[in-house]
Chains A and B, each alone.
Chain A
Amino acid sequence: QSVLTQPPSVSGAPGQRVTMSCTGSSSNIGAGYEVHWYQQLPGKAPKLLIYRNNNRPSGVPDRFSGSNSGTSASLAITGLQADDEADYYCQSYDNSLSGSGVIFGGGTKLTVL
């Protein structure tokens, strides 16, 4: 059971806009801790997609964007493309946990129809 909750799957047709949520609580996202997003293509290592809520690393298209509201965060993808089909993970920090406090969501599988 992940501390951050993500829908198991979302889908969309090419060219459409999709969003996926990452729901936390008052000890993580709700406390103002930053949310980061990773894309994992099939059989590959995860890749940083969005950092510090809404920033894109160099090379990530502006079709990808992140936002936060209350105890949740969202990742939006516009102009959906076939090679966007992947697993997406959110990550943040939780102040109620031992260790480093790093937490991941369970991941959302994006299917491009």
Chain B
Amino acid sequence: EVQLVESGGGLVQPGGSLRLSCAASGFTFSSYEMNWVRQAPGKGLEWVSYIYSGGTTTYYADSVKGRFTISRDNAKNSLYLQMNSLRVEDTAVYFCVRDISGSYFDFWGQGALVTVSS
């Protein structure tokens, strides 16, 4: 059974940093592209970042470019999102999402809540 379990969310002050992790199981993690998608409270879905299966290619939404870094450790079946210079508008549930051929997202984690507030 495919499982994606996020961790590392919490309350952080504006300007602070946080690192999200996603533990994958039930599939060959190293064969899949992965993404982070976020959802602000009461709002819709927003794509945040993408990483190729081998980790060699990454993409970011303009709203997070230069502040967030996506990475993965295929030996540990884990996906990461390092978030720096956090802003109030980064407050959201962050979902770890499996990607099928850069097209659609077939499995989603349960999400990790990040709250940026003073």
Instruction: State the A residues within 8 Å of B (CB).
Output: 2, 34, 36, 38, 45-48, 51-52, 57, 89, 91, 93, 98-100, 102-107
Contact = CB atoms under 8 A, between A and B. Distances in A.
Interface stretch (B19-27, B73-81, B102-110): B102-110
Where chain B touches its partner, the secondary structure class is: strand
Contacts of B103: 34, 36, 51-52, 93
A102 B47 contact: yes
B44 A104 contact: yes
Contact of A106 (B35, B44, B62, B111): B44
Interface string B22-60: 000000000000010000000011110010000000011
Contacts of B45: 38, 46, 89, 91, 104, 107
Given A46-B95, A89-B44, A107-B45, A100 B104 contact: no
Nearest to A102: B47
Contacts of B109: 45
Interface residues of B, number: 23
A100 B50 contact: yes
Contacts of B11: none
A42 to B, nearest CB: 12
A21 to B, nearest CB: 15
A99 B61 contact: yes
A103 B111 contact: no
B106 A99 contact: no
